[in-house]
Amino acid sequence: MLTDNMARVKDALGPVFGPQISFVSITVDPERDTPDVLKQYARNFAADVKGWLFLTGDPAVVHEVGRRYGVISKKTAKGDVDHILLTSLVDRNGSLRVQYVGAGFDLEEFRSDLLRLVDEPR
């Protein structure tokens, strides 16, 4: 649901998506989500590789990046990964500006917040 919502916002952003706004989706399960798996996942959502990256990597590094942004995850007994859903807006200076919890946040508010960041003076 979250990725589907992000795809809708991407489409609503029009020409600013890519050159001025990028999405970065980071796996919480890097052991399963190999580059090939994420490439197929991105294709399923028609993610434009010029503006939407799907990242995986060394599990320790991926978990540390997630932790820095408040993502909490835990492997279950079945081997799945339970995690909090967080969408973070990071400005062009790398500062965390806004976080949305869950997948059901207001997409119009999200789009407006993105455009507001684009309009900020450099």
pLDDT tens, 12-41? Answer: 999 999 999 999 999 999 999 999 999 999
In a domain, 120, yes or no: no
**Mean pLDDT estimate for the chain:** 93
In a domain, 118, yes or no: no
**pLDDT for residue 46:** 86
**pLDDT for residue 23:** 96
Domain that holds residue 91: 2-110
Domain count, the chain: 1
In a domain, 116, yes or no: no
The CATH number that applies at residue 104 is: 3.40.30.10
Q: 4-18 burial by CB neighbour count: b if 16+ within 10 A, else e? A: ebbbebbeebeeebb
Give one word for 3, left, alpha or beta, with left for phi > 0 and alpha for psi -120 to 50.
Answer: alpha
In a domain, 16, yes or no: yes
The residue among 66, 67, 37 whose CA lies nearest residue 54 is: 37
Tens-of-pLDDT digits for all 122 residues of the chain? 889 999 999 999 999 999 999 999 999 999 999 999 999 999 998 888 789 999 999 999 999 999 998 898 999 999 999 998 999 999 999 999 999 999 889 999 999 999 999 999 88
In a domain, 106, yes or no: yes
How many Cβ atoms from other residues are within 10 Å of residue 118's Cβ? 13
In a domain, 91, yes or no: yes
State the pTM of this model.
0.88
